[in-house]
Amino acid sequence: MRILLITKIFPNAMNPGQAPFNRRQFAALSRYCDIDVFATIPWFPGASRFSRWSVSTDAPREEIIEGLPVRHPRFLYLPKVAPYLNGPLYAASMLFELVRHHPAPDVIVGSFAYPDGFAAVCLAELLGVPAVVKVHGSDIDVLSQQPAVRPALEWGLRRATRVVAVSKQLKEGVHALGVPRDRIDVVMNGVDREMFRPRDRGEARAALGRSPERRLLLYVGHLLRDKGALDAIAAFERIAPAHPEVDLVLVGSGADEQACKAAAERLGGRVLLTGRLPHDEVARWVAACDALVLPSHHEGTPNVVIESLASGRRVVATHVGGIPDVLSSPELGELVAPGDLPALAQAMSRAAYAPYDPERITALSGCSGWDESARAFYDVILAARGERPVPVPAAEKRPALQRDGQPPSSARWAPPPASRRFPEAAQLRASQA
């Protein structure tokens, strides 16, 4: 089976740390079918003159990422001018790219509801193949509230053969937009269980130059107001005088980075902003912390929460999106209402000192790997084609991945031989050798 994945949330050579969840899930999915990725880049006249857009515009046209053949087609984009046109313009740009470079796929997957999912549905209907749309969180929680975008977003979701949501709460959001529940599947993201696993906290702190005697709360994510980065600092400021041995570290970057730095300056050296870090360094900071803090205002199912639990670290987060599905026990952490700074401060204070067994946190969380996530995603793709999965030999079975609130079927599609890859992938590898 040949699958075309279309998404603007995917890494490229100029931004290798973007959307690691898509990179890992799609790479794992390539074990079961032939995959090509259109990791799209928005373009408009003069885009290179704006710092927000200039980095991605320098990305190569083609590259290999984790063995996947990835193209970076540009799509015509009108920022803040006419958002209702961005879906049709995106679809037209991808049609041009598909006609020029790509054999007809058997299924088209759009990762993000709009404009990616909208374009995937348009192309699929032109080609007469199924379309699967994967939704992440803000595409449903935020974009659906924009009157200029909502009609096109609803049109794409309703005409998709199947929709994949990363949490049960997000499934209900898709259903509220007019998609029948029996066409929506919940497939949780996975975690790299080799990288994110219980490690010695003291060793991790020593490697980072941090004192083993101090307490450490950690925020990982984009430094954005809606992600709760400023809330984390404001809540920490409330508890800092009473707990002089506690520090806060923020890993990431984003549009509100300067505001975070200004807020952090009031607390001297007790708040550290590291900037964006490679995934292995993020794993070291997670291992070094006493608890993760993620006070988002809205979410899908944030991978950093799953990664923290897989590392045996408790979490303080907000009761939004799919987070309650993951923090299913008080042993795993605390949930507070978004924007409730007093409650957040109290939860952070407790989390900094609460004793717990990291191995039990990992076991209790039941975090699944990327292969389980990819297998569940592949089942959805098979269902979109009207096909049934075949059983995987018992020796290949791994712990079950909860899907749509129910244990998955024991039937899975057997992986094709490793030699089944796009011929153009081999050509790209040879040209880069």
Question: Among candidates 107, 140, 109, 130, which has minimal Cα distance to 38?
Answer: 109
The mean pLDDT value of the chain amounts to 86
pLDDT of 431 higher than 60 = no
Cα→Cα distances 193→91, 261, 368, 376, Å: 37, 32, 8, 17
Which helix (H) or strand (E) element contains residue 54? helix 51-57
pLDDT confidence bin for 321, thresholds 50/70/90: confident
Name which residue leads in pLDDT, 59 or 8: 8
* Whether the Cβ atoms of residue 18 and residue 24 lie closer than 8 Å to each other: no
The whole-angstrom separation of Cα 358 and Cα 199 is: 9
Backbone angles phi, psi at 194, to 5 degrees: -80, -40
pLDDT of 388 higher than 90 = no
| Tens of pLDDT, residues 108-129 | 999 999 999 999 999 999 999 9
* Whether the Cβ atoms of residue 52 and residue 87 lie closer than 8 Å to each other: no
Residues 6+ positions from 396 with CB-CB distance below 8 Å: none
Mean predicted confidence (pLDDT) in 232-252: 96
Q: What percent of the chain has pLDDT over 70?
A: 85
β-pair type (246-251, 271-275): parallel
pLDDT of 412 higher than 80 = no
